[in-house]
Amino acid sequence: MTFRIRKGFLVPLGLLSIETVALFITCFIFNEPVAKRIIVGVLILPVVVLFLECLFRRTSIEAEQVCIRKLLRRKCIRYADMTAVETVQVKRRAFVTLCTEEDFMIVSNAYSNFPAMIRALLLRVPQESISAETAEMAQDPPRKTADIVSCWLGVILLGFILFAQMKTGLG
């Protein structure tokens, strides 16, 4: 079973990336001040890297191991090697840490079908490694939507800025 980051988050994040790049390009087209070009240029990097990281992230629950594929890298941990499965919850955001003696992975509820992912994972890991908090969280995993709303607000705000830039630049 393979799980990906929710499309409800990827779509606005992708639009935000496109808008940021478009704003950067318009800064050069309309000969905006260097300071504005630098600010927008610095803004591009984290937005585009976050989008690409989320776009390529996959977590696979396999027969013998769990694997997380990220941008340009892949990491796997065998269930038999897991010594602790713990949860940290901050409001509606949940982070599940999968630990071995030498390594760890973190998955969050940013994944689509997070409840099914957690259930599948907890069926395979050694039961003695599952913390009480994780077992409790798995009964009713939190669903986080604030990040999606925030991203859409960013898309709208940057859309207005881009529109104003185009209107001013085209005169």
DSSP assignment of 1-67, as one string? -EEEB-HHHHHHHHHHHHHHHHHHHHHHHTT--HHHHHHHHHHHHHHHHHHHHHHH-EEEE-SSEEE
- Burial class of residue 11, CB neighbours in 10 A (0-12, 13-18, 19+): middle
Report pLDDT for 171. 62
* Residue of 171 and 41 predicted with greater confidence: 41
Tens digits of per-residue pLDDT, 124-144?
999 999 998 988 888 888 887
| Amino acid making up residue 58 | R
Name the average pLDDT for the chain: 91
Q: What percent of the chain has pLDDT over 70?
A: 99
CA distance 66 to 113: 16
Q: What is the mean pLDDT of residues 24-52?
A: 92
Report pLDDT for 151. 93
Report pLDDT for 92. 83
Q: What percent of the chain has pLDDT over 90?
A: 70
CA distance 106 to 93: 13
Q: What is the mean pLDDT of residues 82-104?
A: 90
Report pLDDT for 55. 94
CA distance 77 to 98: 8
Which residues, in sequence order, are bridge partners of residue 74?
69
pTM above 0.85, yes or no: no
Q: Where are the domains of the chain?
A: 2-170
Q: What is the mean pLDDT of residues 14-18?
A: 96
Task: Return phi, psi of residue 101, to 5°.
Answer: -60, -35
Residues 6+ apart with CB under 8 A from 164: none
Beta-sheet strand order (sheet of 93-99): 84-90, 93-99, 104-108
Give Rg (Cα) of the chain. Answer: 20
